Amino acid sequence: MTPRAGRGALVGGLFHAWPIIERDVGTFARDTNYRGDQAVPPRRLAPPTARFNAARPRARRVVRALLGTLAGIVFLRVLGVSLLFAGFVEHGHSLGGSTFQSGAAFAAYPLALALFMLPLSALSDRIGRRAVMVGALLVSSVGGIAAAFADDILLLTLARFVQGAGALNAVALAVAGEVGAPARRTQRMALLGAAAGIGFAAGILLGAYLTPLAGVPALLAGHSIASLALVPLVARFVPHAVAASAPRVRGLGLEARVMALAFAAFGVNLALTGLLFLSPLLIVGVRYELAITLMVIPGGLGMFLAARLADRGHARAVGTVGALLLGLAPLAFVVDVGLGALLAAGVLFFVGHSSLTALLPALAAERAAEGRRGTAQGVQSTLQYLGSAMGSLLVGALYPRAPALALVFVLAGVLVGASIAFATLREAQARQPA
């Protein structure tokens, strides 16, 4: 070998060996705390398993804080609907509006929720959940403050629409479907469903007691301040980006099973709003706020049992039972029964409703393609709010014709049951023996 070739081989060998030398020297310096020309005794490094276990409590705390933040968002969005049931029409009258105009101002909030749910969800699939959630909370807070200081019925309507434009529920559900263990996805959805149920009941109770004391403007301002308080929590705990970039597809990019779950959500909220519209006309002998609380709380407790069963592979059975309760329990409100029977039927109804509230978003998160979960939750939430509008319209138009009202609830239950059966058909076929 010539000297030139020898030098070339030496240089080439050092070039290829340098990454290994650098790695070994770095390991030595790390493990011996090398300082100049002396070395101190090596540190005692915890085994990899011990270091992993030490990190797990912190990760769990972060996930819990994230879920708490998401639950707060869902709670406030639903609270914004039910908080103003008491006294809103009178407040509209004080601003010079008619009863119809007051109703339109009230409906502006859920209407905006339905219109902006899907666009914000799809946007979060593109630019990340955190940015969309922070922006929507700020917009909602500005709308709420404007509504609190509105001195005209038209301004109140526009401000309520802006307040509802912060439609975050579907984005929050999408985040809950992406964090934590997949085996516990339905339980996480149950937590957010419980927050929605508690928010609805708390809104009725707080509105009934606080409206005479503080007035509607104070409730609007308080709701906006609470929304602002969630902004730093979202900025800290919500992941910035989605798990994978969303593929560019035309249309919604959702398969038929995911759309079926959205139609099931439409039926669920149609039955819910119809029952809530009908029940004040029929519950006598006890305060309405107390009766609703007695019906909702047991239903919320049943939600977690249903979530555990769904996570163990019984989603189809949970959906079937929930659809039956949703379609049949309201029949007690149509026929002439006593107060006890009405309350018992209400408990069964909310058991079915809360079970479906946890199940449907979890099934959508599981079946939606990667990068389309936000869109899936947005479609589902949009149809939910449209179902709410349709439920009150149908019951209001058909009351007091009992057969027609009964048909509304039965058909809603059939729609929910058939949609869930279609969405879980492959799983049912896979469990059948060959």
86, two tokens: 């008491």
Among the candidates 187, 212, 244, a domain finishes at 244
Instruction: Identify which has the larger pLDDT, 107 or 411.
Output: 411
Q: Measuring CA to CA, which residue among 223, 220, 236, 239 is closest to residue 75?
A: 223
DSSP class of 35: B
pLDDT band at 232 (very low <50, low <70, confident <90, very high): very high
Within this chain, do residues 96 and 180 fall inside the same structural domain, yes or no? yes
pLDDT band at 159 (very low <50, low <70, confident <90, very high): very high
Within this chain, do residues 258 and 238 fall inside the same structural domain, yes or no? no
Query: What total of structural domains would you count in the chain?
Result: 2
Any domain includes 60: no
Instruction: Identify which has the larger pLDDT, 219 or 291.
Output: 219
Kindly tell me if the per-residue pLDDT of 343 is higher than 50. yes
Range of the domain at 73: 66-244
Report percent pLDDT > 90 for the chain. Answer: 26
Within this chain, do residues 336 and 416 fall inside the same structural domain, yes or no? yes
Among the candidates 190, 218, 244, a domain finishes at 244
Instruction: Tell me what the mean pLDDT of segment 271-275 comes to.
Output: 83
Instruction: Tell me what the mean pLDDT of segment 116-129 comes to.
Output: 85
Instruction: Tell me what the mean pLDDT of segment 117-138 comes to.
Output: 88
Any domain includes 331: yes
* C-alpha to C-alpha distance for 124 and 119, rounded to whole angstroms: 9
pLDDT for the residue numbered 23: 43
Domain with 304 in it: what CATH number?
1.20.1250.20
Calculated CA dihedral for residues 412, 107, 393, 413, nearest 10 degrees: 10
Instruction: Tell me what the mean pLDDT of segment 32-57 comes to.
Output: 43
Kindly tell me if the per-residue pLDDT of 33 is higher than 60. no
**3-state secondary structure at position 216:** helix
Within this chain, do residues 218 and 262 fall inside the same structural domain, yes or no? no
Kindly tell me if the per-residue pLDDT of 32 is higher than 70. no
Within this chain, do residues 258 and 239 fall inside the same structural domain, yes or no? no
pLDDT for the residue numbered 290: 79
* C-alpha to C-alpha distance for 303 and 35, rounded to whole angstroms: 60
Question: Over the stretch 174-193, which tens digit does the pLDDT of each residue have?
Answer: 888 777 777 777 778 778 87
Q: Highest mean pLDDT: which of 265-269, 310-314, 422-426?
A: 265-269
Instruction: Identify which has the larger pLDDT, 409 or 19.
Output: 409
Within this chain, do residues 112 and 202 fall inside the same structural domain, yes or no? yes
Kindly tell me if the per-residue pLDDT of 315 is higher than 80. yes
Any domain includes 208: yes
